[in-house]
Copies of this chain bind each other. A is one copy, B any other.
Amino acid sequence: MAATTTPRKDARVRYWEDYAVGETADLGSCRITEEEIVAFARKYDPQPFHVDAEAARRSIFGGLIASGWHTCALMMRLSVEAARREGAAGAGSPGLDSCRWLKPARPGDVLAGRTEVLEVWPSRTRPYGFVRRRVEMVNQHGEVVVAIVGISMYQRRPAVVA
């Protein structure tokens, strides 16, 4: 799926051509609170170890942990904010090639996003290009909490009319 978010003409714009394999970036960080963990999980993932502190204490996690979908959603927010800062001509995503929830995220954890471009290729039929990248959220102990390989679409740089 693709959507055009037309950049302002006077703004610096980062098109598909501006992404290169091997490029890495820090996406900033966020703190995850118990209140947010429980609120997200009550709506979307009401398993006992996400919504019930007492049941979570008795589980092998030993305490409340965030839904994996919640850590992915926070990773998305950091990605969108970073894309906005760099003026990316983002056009949506067809999906992920993998997602691994490697360590629990617990109340008070600070999660930092980082990303690396793995592959770039143009659309054959439309004025877009694809970027495959690894994105990770790393906690305050340096442990990778979640790692995905995802695909993003970007607008191609418009041809310059002489």
Contact = CB atoms under 8 A, between A and B. Distances in A.
A157 interface: no
Contact of A55 (B5, B43, B69, B92): B5
Q: How many copies does the complex hold?
A: 2
Contacts of A59: 3-5
A40 B40 CA distance: 10
Nearest to A67: B76
Contact of A49 (B3, B65, B103): B3
* Chain A interface main SS type: mixed
Contacts of A4: 59-60
Interface of A: 1-6, 40, 43-49, 55-56, 58-61, 65, 67-69, 72-74, 76-77, 80, 90, 92-104
Q: What 10 pairs between A and B have smallest CB-CB spacing? A: A44-B73, A95-B100, A3-B59, A96-B99, A3-B49, A95-B99, A45-B76, A44-B77, A69-B73, A5-B48
